């Protein structure tokens, strides 16, 4: 049996472990932390409030199911999830509130009623989003963009012939302005750029593919919370014989004559036939491969946004809030300009509140809720985070209090905070970026590192910092592409 080492147990590292074990490789996962899952983990405060610390929105669950099916298991025996009827509860400063129903028609009626936006505009937009998905899905997401055989496939050629239809020559914001008459509707759809840490005023309208993931395929909630995703894939990998080495930081990828020979952990050389790095690309090169030439152009691409998150135990429950809630800023462009400049955080940030106790009541005591309160912030470039966090905390509390007409401070019973510095130190993500490179330019898909090394034999890459990108579904696809490339 050929031996594969996987560096990191993020979602893509775990999925690669499953896929390679199914293919018959002897797989060992080396994880720097004492737990698996990377960004997809949990914390418990005061033994009472449980929080998923990272991802909160679950789309494309069939990519998780597929891992169980490949292993000959029934996913439903281990991992279950429910489809959401309402994706998001939206709140605007002027008191407008609306619900994004999963049912397209209900949603279109709601937007027409609350925003005076003609229903047909919404339905036309959702169709357009689906069209972009259908053209780009096969080419950009399921295959390596860096292998000739991808381009020789009939489906790929068909998609390439239609690439002029994917709206890559204008920004998402400009496209959305052309669809909708109410700026609030434009803002609602511009927000989808943040699903991969991008800026709607810069990113190509191709990213209007994202609403289709919700309105066409659905958004889901895993039974027991997001943490179940990483825990159940870890358990599946163990059942397949994968060995996990926790608290085992890889220090070097050992190379001889441009061929990977193994890794170094605790200064000890461990031989492997193949190595898959799920560690952030920039740190893989800079820390584990200091003696080889680095692909500087790819490494220096601008990074996606990071996040500032307050985990609050709240001593009250709020019927007007759901699982996912957005409190919009009044001036979205100003907010994104601050993110682009990267120095400060706008004093009126859009606030996202995720409350899993709405679906998993045991996540908070009776009559209480577990609030995951997040704002987008720039990637970490050494800003004075302590000062920025103190200011942002005040602005966030004031805004929520204003919009919900409450004194929020009096309900916060416990707190933990995650900021870009901690995201970087806990998961080794360069600058604490959530999704690797940003997608703020139309060539971004081609400026992501391939899932293999062109220079070093037997070295592969998976995870949010390489092709096809960040977010759980794309990370799961990167694992698929990577393991498909490993064949001998
Ligand atoms: P990561 O999760 O980055 O994990 C990498 C692992 O490698 C870590 O465990 C790290 O410890 C380990 N490692 C690094 N270096 C070494 C080394 N030298 N030796 C050993 N181990 C090492 N996505 C969504 O789909 N929906 C969302 O709602 C969403 N929201 C998010 C909110 C937040 C706050 C964050 C942080 C992310 C969010 N994301 C979301 C993005 C998603 O979490 C990531 O894209 C995805 O989890 C990244 O997985 P990954 O496989 O790249 O690995």
Q: Which of 229, 263, 277, 278 to mutate to test the pocket of ligand 1 (most atoms within 8 A of CB)?
A: 278
Whether 136 shows a pLDDT value over 90: the answer reads: no
Buried b or exposed e, range 391-429, using 16+ CB within 10 angstroms: ebbebbbebbeebbeeebeebebeebebbbbbbbebbbb
- Report CA(473)–ligand 1 centroid distance (Å): 12
Q: Which of 427, 466, 474 to mutate to test the pocket of ligand 1 (most atoms within 8 A of CB)?
A: 427
Whether 139 shows a pLDDT value over 80: the answer reads: no
Whether 153 shows a pLDDT value over 90: the answer reads: no
Q: Binning pLDDT at 50, 70 and 90, where does residue 145 land? A: confident
Whether 445 shows a pLDDT value over 80: the answer reads: no
- The predicted-structure confidence for 190-220, as pLDDT tens digits, reads as follows 999 999 999 999 999 999 999 999 999 999 9
Residue whose CA is at the smallest distance from ligand 1 atom 38: 55
Residue whose CA is at the smallest distance from ligand 1 atom 44: 471
- The predicted-structure confidence for 333-385, as pLDDT tens digits, reads as follows 999 999 999 998 999 999 999 999 999 999 999 999 999 999 999 999 999 99
- Report CA(9)–ligand 1 centroid distance (Å): 9
CB 414 within 8 A of CB 46: yes
Q: What 8-state DSSP symbol labels residue 303? A: B
Ligand 1 site: residues with CB under 6 angstroms?
A: 7-13, 30-33, 38-40, 54-57, 249-250, 278-279, 307, 309, 423, 427-429, 434-435, 463-464, 470-472, 475
Residue 379 CB partners (closer than 8 Å, separation 6+): 303, 304, 305, 306, 342, 420, 430, 431, 432, 433
For residue 6, which phi and psi values (nearest 5 degrees)?
-110, 125
| 276-285, 371-380, 431-440: segment of lowest average pLDDT | 431-440
Strands 81-83, 243-245: pairing kind: unpaired
What is the side-by-side order of every strand in the sheet holding 219-222?
58-59, 219-222, 81-83
Average pLDDT over residues 36-57: 98
Per-residue pLDDT at 111: 98
Q: Is the pTM above the cut of 0.95?
A: yes
Average pLDDT over residues 96-102: 98
Per-residue pLDDT at 165: 83
Whether 470 shows a pLDDT value over 80: the answer reads: yes
Whether 95 shows a pLDDT value over 80: the answer reads: yes
Ligand 1: nearest atom to the Cα of 428:
14
- What is the SS3 assignment for 27? strand
Spatial CA neighbour of 280 closest among 143, 432, 438: 432
Q: Binning pLDDT at 50, 70 and 90, where does residue 81 land? A: very high
Spatial CA neighbour of 30 closest among 281, 283, 276, 288: 276
Residue 484 CB partners (closer than 8 Å, separation 6+): none
- The predicted-structure confidence for 373-431, as pLDDT tens digits, reads as follows 999 999 999 999 999 999 999 999 999 999 999 999 999 999 999 999 999 999 999 99
CB 278 within 8 A of CB 16: yes
Residue 103 CB partners (closer than 8 Å, separation 6+): 85
Per-residue pLDDT at 376: 98
Per-residue pLDDT at 398: 98
- Report CA(231)–ligand 1 centroid distance (Å): 14
Buried b or exposed e, range 167-199, using 16+ CB within 10 angstroms: bbeebbbebbbebbebebbbbbbbbbbbbbbbb
CB 38 within 8 A of CB 13: yes
Per-residue pLDDT at 317: 97
- The predicted-structure confidence for 291-305, as pLDDT tens digits, reads as follows 999 999 999 999 999
Q: What percent of the chain has pLDDT over 90?
A: 89
Residue whose CA is at the smallest distance from ligand 1 atom 27: 55
- Tokens 């991802």 — which residue? 55
- What is the SS3 assignment for 220? strand
Per-residue pLDDT at 85: 98
Q: How far apart are CA 49 and CA 283, in angstroms?
A: 33
Per-residue pLDDT at 66: 98
- Report CA(219)–ligand 1 centroid distance (Å): 20
Ligand 1: nearest atom to the Cα of 374:
34
Q: CA quadruple 345, 197, 45, 371: dihedral positive or negative?
A: positive
Q: Which of 8, 12, 356 to mutate to test the pocket of ligand 1 (most atoms within 8 A of CB)?
A: 8
């Amino acid at each position: 049996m050929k031996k594969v080492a996987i560096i990191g147990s993020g979602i893509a590292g775990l999925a690669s472990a499953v896929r390679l074990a199914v293919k018959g490789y002897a797989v060992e996962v080396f994880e720097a932390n004492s737990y698996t899952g990377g960004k997809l983990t949990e914390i418990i405060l005061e033994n009472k409030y449980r929080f998923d610390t990272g991802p909160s929105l679950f789309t494309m669950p069939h990519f998780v199911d597929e891992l169980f099916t490949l292993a000959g298991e029934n996913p439903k025996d281990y991992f279950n999830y429910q489809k959401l009827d309402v994706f998001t509860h939206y709140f605007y400063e002027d008191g407008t509130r609306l619900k994004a129903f999963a049912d397209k028609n209900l949603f279109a009626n709601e937007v027409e009623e609350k925003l005076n936006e003609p229903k047909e505009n919404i339905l036309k937009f959702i169709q357009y989003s689906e069209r972009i998905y259908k053209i780009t899905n096969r080419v950009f997401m399921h295959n390596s963009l860096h292998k000739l055989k991808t381009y020789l496939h009939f489906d790929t050629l068909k998609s390439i012939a239609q690439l002029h239809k994917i709206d890559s020559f204008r920004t998402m914001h400009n496209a959305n302005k052309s669809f909708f008459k109410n700026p609030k509707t434009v803002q609602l759809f511009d927000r989808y750029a943040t699903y991969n840490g991008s800026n709607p005023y810069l990113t190509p309208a191709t990213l209007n593919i994202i609403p289709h993931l919700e309105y066409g395929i659905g958004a889901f909630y895993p039974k027991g919370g997001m943490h179940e995703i990483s825990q159940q894939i870890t358990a599946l990998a163990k059942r397949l014989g994968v060995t996990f080495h926790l608290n085992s930081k890889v220090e070097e990828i050992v190379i001889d004559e441009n061929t990977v020979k193994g890794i170094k952990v605790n200064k000890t050389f461990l031989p492997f036939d193949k190595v898959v790095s799920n560690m952030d690309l920039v740190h893989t090169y800079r820390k584990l491969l200091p003696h080889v030439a680095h692909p500087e152009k790819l490494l220096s691409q601008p990074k996606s946004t990071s996040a500032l998150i307050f985990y609050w135990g709240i001593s009250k429950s709020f019927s007007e809030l759901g699982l996912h809630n957005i409190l919009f800023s009044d001036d979205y462009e100003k907010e994104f300009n601050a993110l682009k400049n990267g120095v400060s955080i706008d004093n009126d940030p859009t606030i996202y509140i995720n409350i899993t106790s709405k679906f998993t009541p045991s996540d908070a005591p009776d009559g209480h809720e577990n609030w995951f309160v997040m704002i987008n912030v720039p990637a970490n470039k050494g800003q004075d985070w302590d000062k920025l966090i103190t200011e942002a905390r005040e602005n966030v509390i004031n805004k929520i209090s204003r919009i919900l007409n409450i004194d929020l401070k009096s309900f916060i019973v416990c707190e933990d905070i995650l900021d870009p510095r901690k995201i970087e130190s806990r998961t080794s993500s360069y600058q604490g970026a959530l999704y690797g490179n940003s997608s703020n330019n139309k060539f971004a898909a081609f400026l992501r590192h391939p899932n293999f090394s062109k220079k070093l034999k037997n070295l592969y890459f998976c995870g949010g910092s390489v092709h096809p990108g960040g977010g759980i579904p794309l990370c799961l696809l990167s694992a698929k592409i990577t393991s498909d490339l490993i064949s001998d």
